Structure 1
Amino acid sequence: MTEPQTLRSDARRNRDQIVAAAKTLFAERGADVPMEEIARRAGVGVGTLYRRFPDREALVREVARESLAVLLTHANRAQADGGQGWESFLRVLENLPDLWFTLRSTVLSPAIRTVILDDPRAFATAQELLSVINGLVRAGQQAGTLRPDVDTGDIVILITLVISGLRASAGALPDTVHARMLALTLDGLRTGSGSTLPGKPLTPDPMDPLR
């Protein structure tokens, strides 16, 4: 009885290592990273990777499912912060591969969007996540901490662009610079920033690839 249980434990550990490595590499470089490199980062053989995930789409699907589920968990916890929930949500997630993978996939990667759209489980989680984030935005505005002339679409695109730039400059700039840029971004979303935004607030609909 002990040996099969050990094998199951090893298989689960290999699976978790592969998904974690893929999540980080996809977040950094997109979903076209060679499978061999993912296996190497995970510390497993290529054969082990393909036994767990027979093709790239299967791996992308699993990473999407897990990343969306992690984000949903953090978003639900942030609701307890009331009007500050939207800001605490962004601060907590700024350095998580789950956040960058999800933003990159839903805003910048048509290939990953297609995988999410075609997977009922990932799609349902994404829709629930969007609903919770919408609630955090509304709570922040009702509390007077989030400027009233923005919507969820503005925030998603803004954070995507900021984190994209920060990751692109990783290693070239001190960590304090990254922290300053994020702080400036959040300050621009607060009530009383003093500037008038051109155009209308971006609702999720025009940029939401899951509709």
Structure 2
Amino acid sequence: MSDATALRADAQKNRELILSAAEALFLEKGADVPLEEVAKRAGVGIGTLYRRFPTREALLAATSNERFLSLAQSSRARDPDHTPAEAVRAYLEELASNTSAYQSLAASIGTVIQCGTPGCTAITAEGHRLLQRGQDAGTIRRDVTYEDFIYVVTAISIAIEHDRSSTSRIRHLVDLFLNGISVTAPDAPPIPERVDVQK
């Protein structure tokens, strides 16, 4: 084994140790656990941790990578059996549930999903696809953005963080949001366009 190969193998081992330690501690103590504690449990220096994961959000994105990839894959697989509105509902419910995997993750999920991991990229692309599909089908208002999805998922996840017994309410809370973004019936008053007020 060459020195370069040995270094790569050592770096990969350290990465796996950090991710394993982070996953365990995030589940035990929440996403805001001190990163020094993660490094200590992984058996590496804090500098080693930061070289591989320069921010807490980058580490959270890495530990969430497989869950996000799986969520995006299962969401796309639902297309044949779900209407656009049903697919958006299922996506939001699953994303809220995943965002609640670690205590305190919800507060930073908007930043976490921008970290560029395969999982973050996949979950974001899937959300944009479902939103466009719903708007093209005429079931979701045109002024709704993917950022609106994330704001609502954040709010729902923060709400259930403080009452773990309320996780069954995710569907109810998602439904309240979907009722607000759904296109109104033909005989209902039109929804006003979003207006930017100049101050």
Larger Rg: 2
| 1:86 matched to 2:88 | yes
Q: What amino acid sits opposite 1:55 in the alignment?
A: L
| 1:142 matched to 2:97 | no
Q: What amino acid sits opposite 1:51 in the alignment?
A: V
Match of 1:51 in 2: 44
Q: CA RMSD in A?
A: 4.3
Match of 2:108 among 105, 109, 124: 105
Structure 2 stretches lacking a partner, 5+ long: 1-13
Q: Is the 8 A contact 2:20 2:42 kept in 1?
A: no
Rate the CA distance shift 1:148–1:113 in 2: closer, same or farther, 3 A: closer
Greater helix share, structure number: 1
**Offset of residue 157 of structure 1:** 1.6
Rate the CA distance shift 1:70–1:141 in 2: closer, same or farther, 3 A: same
CA distance in 1, matches of 2:70, 2:123: 9
Match of 2:60 in 1: 63
Match of 1:157 in 2: 151
Rate the CA distance shift 1:65–1:16 in 2: closer, same or farther, 3 A: closer
Match of 1:72 in 2: 69
CA distance in 1, matches of 2:109, 2:170: 23
TM-score, scaled to structure 1: 0.57
CA distance in 1, matches of 2:60, 2:42: 14
TM-score, scaled to structure 2: 0.59
**Offset of residue 150 of structure 1:** 1.0
1:1-211 matched pairs, under 5 angstroms = 17-24=20-27, 28=30, 30-31=31-32, 33-35=33-35, 47-51=40-44, 54-55=48-49, 58=52, 60=56, 61-82=58-79, 83=84, 84-97=86-99, 104-107=107-110, 116=115, 122=117, 125-167=119-161, 169-171=162-164, 174-175=166-167, 177=169, 179-192=171-184, 196=191, 199=194
Structure 1 stretches lacking a partner, 5+ long: 1-10, 40-45, 202-211
Aligned length: 171
